[in-house]
Amino acid sequence: MKITIVLGAFFPVPPLMGGAVEKVWFALGQEFVRRGHTVVQISRSHPELPATQEIEGVRHVRVRGSSQPRSILWLKWFDLLYSLRVRRVLPEADILVTNTFWLPLLTRATRRGLLCVHVARGPKGQMRSYAHVARLHAVSRAIADQIVAEAPRLRAKVRVIPNALPFRIDRTARGARERTILFVGRVHPEKGLELFLRALSHLPAEMLAAWKVRIVGPHETALGGGGVAFLRHLQAMGEQSGARLEWPGQIFDPAKLAEEYRASLVFAYPSVAETGEAFGVAPIEAMAHGCAPFVSNLPCFRDYIENGVTGFVFDHRGPAPEKNLAARLVDLLGLGPEQIVRIGEAARAQVAQFDVETVGQRYLEDFASLLPPARSSLSA
């Protein structure tokens, strides 16, 4: 098959500036090539990257995008401009995958490929305008339900295929873990960090003294963060909590990020993004490295985290969410390192289903089902 993958307007590929979706599709594109298919990947240009390039058999084409704005209106405007530029360079293909807002509305010619929309955030009304697309790929059951609720007549076009781990799981990697609670993600209000820091102040003093907390991720608005003022607000909250907090900032290098996961016992991801969180990549990355995950009870986490078995879940919607979070943290941290390691190993086994080979095969089989037999061979 000839497959074109179009990423969004705000992050380049390879993911030099982060971006969960960019990491996932960078890996999937290479997996498709490994299985004999032809792949073109289109993404935002970057000063450190050439306009065209081949990486592991994938042909990369880069067009002008922009930094991510704060305003949703400006975001949609920049996405429109980017999509118009992308449309001019689309090659002929069998399948066209995109997660942009506007491109599905601007591209209807089947010679550019049957349209498959990758839905990695909660829909905001646009699904009703996507009736002409061949497939809507939801990254979780929760997102699939939202799509169907928004556009019931498109139910037959919806398939759930989870995000892939953007690396191959090293099942042999073991090492000494510190009493560290790690967060990796955008330092943004929707990630629940304010709630998390308030909860830390309710932990027993001896527990706070025994554990370290590391907040890893970008705060810059251009990278999807909440800005400098929000970071300073969080740091002040951290000082008041009495916890031992470290703020190393963004880490985009995969090897260094793997070191963070492997050195930590617990991974905290207290997201409160009710409509934005679709299928967090950071939690499955942490689980693949043996970290025991600690998450809010958003529906998207139910696909792979079982409370008390492969992680811990707290209720972020109740009347006292910070106390609920603190109580669940006390339960988890009170288990002791050996038991936490066992939960981490159960988590590692659980996310094996998201390895890039398995998820890549699911996509290829679904793409093939959309094409006539003469074009749908799973070999090139």
**pLDDT per position as a tens digit, 106-133:** 988 789 999 999 998 888 889 999 999 9
Instruction: Locate CATH 3.40.50.2000 in the chain.
Output: 2-165+355-370, 178-353
178-353: CATH topology: Rossmann fold (3.40.50)
- Residue 6 to residue 150: CA distance in whole angstroms: 24
pLDDT at 380: 47
Global pTM reads 0.88
Q: How many CA within 13 A on the CB side of residue 175?
A: 13
pLDDT tens for each residue of the chain, 380 residues long: 999 999 999 999 999 888 889 999 999 999 999 999 999 999 999 999 999 999 999 999 999 999 888 788 888 999 999 999 999 999 999 999 999 999 999 988 789 999 999 998 888 889 999 999 999 999 999 899 999 999 999 999 999 999 999 887 776 666 678 999 999 999 999 999 999 999 999 999 999 999 999 999 999 988 889 999 999 999 999 999 999 999 999 999 989 999 999 999 999 999 988 777 778 889 999 999 999 999 998 988 988 999 999 999 999 888 889 999 999 999 999 988 999 999 999 999 999 999 999 999 999 999 999 998 766 554 44
> In the block, which residue shows the tokens 């295929």?
161
Which CATH code, of 3.40.640.10, 3.40.50.970, 3.40.190.10, 3.40.50.2000, is assigned to 2-165+355-370? Answer: 3.40.50.2000
- Residue 302 to residue 372: CA distance in whole angstroms: 36
Q: Which of 135, 103, 40 is nearest to 366 (CA)?
A: 135
Q: Which of 105, 70, 106 is nearest to 87 (CA)?
A: 106
- Residue 74 to residue 70: CA distance in whole angstroms: 8
pLDDT at 103: 95
- Residue 39 to residue 313: CA distance in whole angstroms: 39
- Residue 154 to residue 135: CA distance in whole angstroms: 9
